[in-house]
Amino acid sequence: MGLTDCKVHASISVCPATLGGTKLLYTYCVPSAASAEDVLKTLYKGSTGQFAQYVADIKESVRPLFIMAAVTFVVSMLYIYLLKWFAKPLLYISILAILICGVVGGLYLF
C-alpha cells in the first residue's frame, strides 16, 4: 500500500492512503499499472466493504442515466433544428453589418 505525496498542515493532519502503488507522472501522482490487478482483487474481495455498494449504485442508476441521455439527445436535436433556422439570417446580418461598418469607416477616414 502506497502513500500519496501531500503536505500536512492545520486542516490536513494525516496523508491519505491508497490501495496500490503510485508513480509520479509530471506533477501528478497516478496509480501504477503493476498494482492495478492487486487493487482490483482487494476491492473485489470486499476488504473495503464498498465494492458491492459501488456496483449496486451503478445498477440502480441505469434509469436516470438513460433519461439524461434521452434528454441530451432531444435538446441537441432541438438546438440543431433551431440553428437551421437562425444560421442563415445571422450570417446575412453579420455580412451586412461588416459591409456597413466598412463603408461608414471608409467615409469617416476620407
Phi, psi of 8 (to 5 degrees): -80, 130
For 55, half-sphere exposure in the C-beta direction (CA atoms, 13 angstrom radius) is 6
Q: Contact at 8 Å (CB) between 38 and 32?
A: no
pLDDT tens figures, 16-61: 666 677 777 777 777 777 777 777 777 667 555 676 777 778 888 8
Q: Contact at 8 Å (CB) between 36 and 52?
A: no
In total, the chain counts a number of residues equal to 110
* pTM listed for this prediction: 0.41
Q: Element (H or E) spanning 22, and its range?
A: strand 22-25
pLDDT at 1: 40
Q: How far apart are CA 96 and CA 73, in angstroms?
A: 34
